[in-house]
Amino acid sequence: MTHCTGMTGQQQVLACGSWPTPITSELVVRALVGLGEVALCGGEVWWAEQRPQEGGRTQLVRLTPSGARDEVLPTPANARTAVHEYGGGAWWLHEGQQVAVWYAEWSDQRVYRLTAGGTPEPVTEAPAVPRGDRWTDGCVHPDGTVLAVVLERHAAGGRARDVRNEIVALPVVDGGEPEVLVTGPDFVSDPRWSPDGTTLCWLEWDHPDMPWVSTRLVVRSGAGDTTLVAGGPGESVVQPRWAPDGTLWFASDRTGWWNLYRWVPGGAVEPMVVMDAEIGKPPWVFGRSGYAFLDGGRVVFAHRRVGADQLAVRDPGGRVIDLDLPYTVLESVQATGDTVVSVAASPTREAEVVRFRVVDERPTAMEILRPARDLGLASSWFSVPEHVSFPTSGGETAYALYYPPTNPQAVALAGERPPLLVLIHGGPTGAAQAVLRLGVQYWTSRGFAVVDVDYRGSTGYGRRYRERLDGQWGVADVDDCVAAARWLADSGRADPDRLCIRGGSAGGFTTLAVLASHDAFAAGGNHFGVSDLEALARDTHKFESRYLDGLVGPYPARRDLYVERSPIHRVESFDTPLIVFQGLEDPVVPPAQSQLIVDALRAKKVPVAYVTFPGEQHGFRQAANMRRALDAELSFYAQVLGFDVPAEEGIDPVHVENLRARR
């Protein structure tokens, strides 16, 4: 182990990786809340909070006009749906004599109704298959009597091909049987009633397309006539929303970027906001809202470019004005009158619920309704990311967020370059987010540099950039992650002998694929990643069961590519120490995927550590497990790279098999 000697000013001179930091795993999860959708109803503001300290359950919180903040759901109710396994859009409001909320309960996936001061009452029957009827993305009819809602029905046996997705009309006041409104397409989403309740719109798509590849926006009138408004092969339509004047707005990437359009019933589609920026985002979860309607015919919307979100307003004349806000990520944009409410975050602040007025196209009267955690830390502890571009294979360019090591109380040894941790987001149709994440600062405050790679296929750079991963998963993403690490090492910002790489889900696959094909890295971390593409194609859930057709090739016709790119078939060249984390109830990437790679590395005597979590699914939601995953990964890198973990943190070392025999 390398130890430090000396001080410089008020800073200790220490080996990178061993810097003392208050950003421990305990702080990372302490009072941590993940903020979900926001809704406005009857003068109230509602939002969802995912709480690791409460077993990962989702609580609903409402802020009344008087300023009182109430927790809506009684313990242990959990507003979370399992549709598409990723969920989202699990609760819906209506303003009648009093505000009522309907929500999908995680434990049984039934729909419940709750009014102020009451107890949850089931609206749907218990299905024959436990948790077999799953509900999401509801829209309450203007008269409050019926929900248009997505129903995902699972038959006995659990096979993806037997899952049926439909839109149904669910009576929610007087009882009655659900009526199927839309059936036939492989997938449906976003059922939305028009303001007068006479017309319904929805999105639909079919295998093998994903919703960021091709969708169809359909409208059905009260007379039963249907109209294809937009979409089709090669066009992704997302987030349809009726304006108060009865026109239908949506985001489409027909120009290469998700921009805003409007359809006038009986008329044509009109472009409303056209720019080289993404107004939409990939619908991995239901219930996304990137724009909303202000008074005076104005529209407020979030758009993403150069790795960050910005909020803007379109006035009735078509002029677009960016709003000066201190945020780089904006989600769940809602509005009423001249007031906007959103979930917002920045590189120095975690997510919070904010409210402000837009007057003369300027934000005023900013309020923080649900503040971020008080971390008790000065901003000098936070590494602020730099958006970078770098050359990659094929003469192309890729992008990333680079975080330098940052600690006001420690500096590196003379001449020492920091170890680098390459982060690979999931999806792979995801994106690096320029927000304060203590899970990143956990590393930078210890002396690691971090690079969060927006490899080809990532969102935020237009459709063409997304499509550069078509047929190239396991090739282009691998090249980009290796190129990012080598580019930073060549520029002196990382130690070429201490490059580490980690990712979860699809990012876990890329991690494994990199380590099975390149010797640039000293260690890797795989969080519930894919090791066998064939097994994933055969065994995963319905939503992603044909995803690999576009990313790799049709299966089994191109089985050769599945075998060639699967890390499990390339373990003969896999010689890099690896730590693997896996939830034992993961339906997206089943535990067998992790077990396969761990067993193969054990047989080769490659250093490996395997940490499993009973009760966890795809991504860890329980505080204790989140802490253990962080600390175990730190312990693993410390053992492999040879630095000390501060003893005062009391981290239980992870057991690394085969490490001693190799050192």
Measure CA of the first residue to CA of the last residue in the chain; give whole Å.
13
- The answer on pLDDT for 348 being more than 70 is yes
- The answer on pLDDT for 99 being more than 90 is no
Domain count along the chain: 2
397 lies in a domain? yes
Neighbours of 71 (CB within 10 A): 11
Q: Which two tokens stand for residue 304?
A: 């993403």
pLDDT at residue 6 in the model: 42
In 3D space, the residue among 427, 423, 447, 426 whose CA is nearest the CA of residue 437 turns out to be: 423
d(CA 60, CA 281): 24
Any idea what the CATH number is for the domain that residue 539 is in? Answer: 3.40.50.1820
The predicted model gives 406-420 an average pLDDT of: 97
- The answer on pLDDT for 288 being more than 90 is yes
Assess whether 357 and 443 both reside in one domain: no
146 lies in a domain? no
Q: Please, which residues bridge with residue 453 across strands? A: 400, 424
Assess whether 461 and 589 both reside in one domain: yes
428 lies in a domain? yes
- The answer on pLDDT for 420 being more than 50 is yes
Identify the residue whose tokens are 């749907």: 124
Number of H helices, E strands in the chain: 11, 39
d(CA 360, CA 148): 37
Assess whether 303 and 440 both reside in one domain: no
* Sequence-ordered alpha helix ranges (H) in 332-449: 438-444
245 lies in a domain? no
Return phi, psi of residue 643, to 5°. -130, 165
pLDDT at residue 303 in the model: 98
The confidence band for 663, taking pLDDT boundaries of 50, 70 and 90, is: very low
473-482 pLDDT, tens digit each: 999 999 999 9
DSSP-derived pairing of the beta strands 449-454 and 420-424: parallel
Q: How many residues does the chain have?
A: 663
Assess whether 443 and 572 both reside in one domain: yes
Q: Please, which residues bridge with residue 136 across strands? A: 150
430 lies in a domain? yes
Determine which helix (DSSP H) or strand (DSSP E) holds 340, and give its type and residue range: strand 339-346
* Crossing angle (nearest 10°) for helices 506-517 and 476-490: 70
Q: Which two tokens stand for residue 19?
A: 């810097």
* Sequence-ordered alpha helix ranges (H) in 220-306: none
User: What does each C-alpha distance from 237 to 75, 89, 205, 280 come to in angstroms?
Assistant: 38, 18, 10, 9
What percentage of residues in the chain have a pLDDT greater than 70?
98
d(CA 658, CA 656): 7
The confidence band for 96, taking pLDDT boundaries of 50, 70 and 90, is: confident
608-641 pLDDT, tens digit each: 999 999 999 888 989 999 999 999 999 999 999 9
Lowest mean pLDDT among 250-254, 420-424, 487-491, 527-531: 527-531
pLDDT at residue 10 in the model: 78
- The answer on pLDDT for 97 being more than 90 is no
Assess whether 406 and 512 both reside in one domain: yes
412 lies in a domain? yes
What range does the domain containing 306 cover? 292-374
User: What does each C-alpha distance from 490 to 17, 140, 364, 496, 515 come to in angstroms?
Assistant: 20, 57, 46, 8, 20
Q: Which two tokens stand for residue 538?
A: 């055969």
- The answer on pLDDT for 140 being more than 50 is yes
Sheet strand arrangement including 121-122: 91-95, 99-104, 111-115, 121-122
Assess whether 507 and 552 both reside in one domain: yes
**Mean pLDDT for the chain overall:** 95
Assess whether 494 and 530 both reside in one domain: yes
295-318 pLDDT, tens digit each: 999 999 999 999 999 999 999 999
Assess whether 498 and 524 both reside in one domain: yes
The confidence band for 38, taking pLDDT boundaries of 50, 70 and 90, is: very high
Contacts of residue 159, Cβ cutoff 8 Å, sequence gap at least 6: none
247 lies in a domain? no
Choose one of 323, 350, 374: the last residue of a domain.
Answer: 374
Conformation bin of residue 296: beta by default, left when phi > 0, alpha when psi is -120 to 50: left
Neighbours of 319 (CB within 10 A): 9
User: What does each C-alpha distance from 200 to 40, 56, 214, 408 come to in angstroms?
Assistant: 21, 34, 20, 56
Choose one of 374, 407, 435: the last residue of a domain.
Answer: 374
d(CA 235, CA 258): 10
pLDDT at residue 175 in the model: 77
Lowest mean pLDDT among 7-21, 169-183, 467-481, 497-511: 7-21
Assess whether 433 and 577 both reside in one domain: yes
Spatial contact of 188 and 198, defined as CB atoms under 8 Å apart: no
Assess whether 401 and 470 both reside in one domain: yes
pLDDT at residue 9 in the model: 55
648 lies in a domain? yes
Assess whether 404 and 331 both reside in one domain: no
Choose one of 374, 404, 428: the last residue of a domain.
Answer: 374
Assess whether 456 and 518 both reside in one domain: yes
pLDDT at residue 501 in the model: 98
**SS3 (DSSP) at 130:** coil
